[in-house]
Amino acid sequence: MKNTIKKTAQLILATTLIFVACKKKESTNTTSSGTTSTTGSTTGTPVVVRAMTSTVNNLNWQANSEGYQISSSNMQFTFGGRTNTSNPNTMISFGFPKTISAGTYSLSQMSAVQAYYKDSIDVFYTANVGSINITQIDTASPANGIITKFKATFSFTTGIISSKSYTVNNGVIDYNK
């Protein structure tokens, strides 16, 4: 059972790596809460906001404005942010059922919502304990089936692999495609 869960998690993450958010001309603004990128119309109205920050083992972590990966399968969404668009990079990602709505969810290897941390040497760690509080999630039409808006806070501790684990705290996602 544990190997099946690991293989499923690896499959989800591999699928996530395949899909990268569309690249648009953007301006980047650094704030105390992280980096946000906006692509505005000629009227200056922001269309795209992308910010994902946390602390990982007490060090600040921030997703690159071009490093978002979003995918969809028949039953599940995946959402992740990477610190860099090329290697080495680290990534925090989530897998959850398409039926998800706003609310607080437990993160563990056995829960419906899963969280992962990929370190800079490409080792994937699954959350053992933690939670995610989704305040907003919007998806495109069922035909496209992608996340267009995602706002959440999160924290989790990973399982141990080769005597190493990670603690992810103070996580914030503010994504608007």
As a whole number, mean pLDDT of residues 147-159 equals: 94
Q: CA–CA separation, 66 vs 68, rounded Å? A: 6
Q: Give pLDDT tens digits for 29-60.
A: 333 334 333 333 334 444 567 899 999 999 99
Would the pTM of this model clear 0.95, i.e. be above it? no
Classify 11 as helix, strand or coil: helix
As a whole number, mean pLDDT of residues 109-138 equals: 95
Q: Give pLDDT tens digits for 19-34.
A: 333 333 333 333 333 4
Q: CA–CA separation, 149 vs 18, rounded Å? A: 20
Q: Give pLDDT tens digits for 160-169.
A: 999 999 999 9
Domain ranges of the chain: 2-176
